[in-house]
Amino acid sequence: MLYVLRTSGFKQSVCDQSFYYGPISKFWACAFVLSKAPELGDTMFIVLRKQRLIFLHWYHHITVMVYSWYSYKDQVAGGGWFMTMNYTVHALMYSYYTARAAGVRVPKPCAIIITSSQIAQMAMGLAVSALVYQWMQDGDCPSYIDNIVWASLMYLSYLLLFSSFFYQSYMKGSKRATSIKNE
């Protein structure tokens, strides 16, 4: 992503399809799509530990998996951004989970930063979807209208759900666990 941004600019980074067939990025794109099935393992751990399973958690995991598999086959524009953002947020989030599982007392601001990054990811996902639609009209971004509609609905629903989670967990002052929900 950084290479494409630096050498070709923002518009090309959104419309570029080389993420699907470049020698290195092709591996990471495939790994991204395949990783969505094992990510459902988070849900299994929550259920097995008899913890509360919130709607955001299972809804997000199932819809991301279906959308990723659906989009990968068409190699649509915007995928490079979607994958890069998700990889970045997951690196932060799973580092947080690992530290907590190892018994490290992680300060609450870390959870707030991770949830904020998830909200930013969803807002950027909506922006990228809108740009793909706009630039698709000019013939510059290869995509399909149904894919853009599904991406927009998905990212909008996530934005609302993660924002609500943020409010309930960090602003409302509830005594519920303030653990972040994963991507």
pLDDT tens, 26-49?
999 999 999 998 888 878 877 888
- Could you say which residues of the chain have pLDDT below 50? 176-180, 182-183
Residue 173 has what pLDDT? 64
Residue 182 has what pLDDT? 45
- Contact status, residue 82 vs residue 183, Cβ threshold 8 Å: no
Active site residue 57: no
Residue 13 has what pLDDT? 94
- Contact status, residue 125 vs residue 85, Cβ threshold 8 Å: yes
Catalytic residue among 57, 60, 61, 90: 60
Residue 183 has what pLDDT? 46
Dihedral through CA 7, CA 9, CA 13, CA 18, nearest 10?
-30
Q: Name the pTM for this structure.
A: 0.86
Domain ranges for the chain:
2-171
